[in-house]
Amino acid sequence: MNQKLKTSIAFAKNLLVTGAISETSRQVEIDICKHISKEDHKIIVEFGMGHGNITQEILNTISPTSKLYAFEVKESFCDHVRKNILDDRLVIVNDGAQNLKKHIKENVNGVISSIPFSFFSKEKGLAIIQDAYDLLENNAYYSQVLYTKFNFKKFQQIFEACEITSNKNFITEYIYHCKKVRK
């Protein structure tokens, strides 16, 4: 069985946590990383690492001196990535995005997320977005992929500049790119 199929089965078995039956498309892996800084000594955060497809793309994008903190609630997914991505710049955090501030005390230069906001209460969703906003450097981006536009308003409530792009796959994938622009 190929790896993509194994990942789809693992996602489907855990549908209420993953919110997906397959990994995001190759085009989304590329597009969601478009605002990540390639400069030295940057800190990037990922929410919802899954089997690490976007994680690998982030690592391919950032500089050798930068760091990626990848949050994932499912321990088995963390184990999978630990075995398959050997990179000193990657710090796997087996915890929820809602606990971001427990693990990271410094400012961050970008957030890339594929967590299923539609499964969260409004309060939980807003708290995750607000905490990420608080830690982000000015002019940095939070980029989120989702299968609907329904959660876009929550991001607009907190971020000053938001845009939405779409990728027509067998299910349309939307990417929200949200920039912190403090006056």
Instruction: Give contact residues for ligand SAM (rule: CB under 6 A).
Output: 17-20, 23-24, 47-50, 53-54, 71-74, 77, 96-98, 114-116
Rounded to a whole number, what is the largest CA-CA distance in the chain? 52
44 strand-pairing partners? 68, 110
Output the smallest distance, CB 153 to ligand SAM, in A: 20
Residue closer to ligand SAM (CB basis): 112 or 178: 112
Please provide the DSSP assignment of 94-128 as one string. Answer: -S-GGGHHHH--S-EEEEEE---GGGS-HHHHHHH
Output the smallest distance, CB 36 to ligand SAM, in A: 15
Output the smallest distance, CB 175 to ligand SAM, in A: 11
Sheet containing strand 90-93, edge to edge, reads 90-93, 67-71, 43-47, 108-113, 136-146, 172-179, 161-168
Output the smallest distance, CB 72 to ligand SAM, in A: 5
Mention every residue, 6+ apart, whose C-beta is less than 8 A from residue 83: none
> Which residue has 């000594």 as its token pair?
41
Residue closer to ligand SAM (CB basis): 61 or 114: 114
Residue closer to ligand SAM (CB basis): 116 or 158: 116
Return d(Cα 145, Cα 76) in angstroms, integer. Answer: 22
Residue closer to ligand SAM (CB basis): 92 or 115: 115
Output the smallest distance, CB 57 to ligand SAM, in A: 9
Residue closer to ligand SAM (CB basis): 70 or 178: 70
Q: How many CB atoms lie within 10 A of CB 27?
A: 13
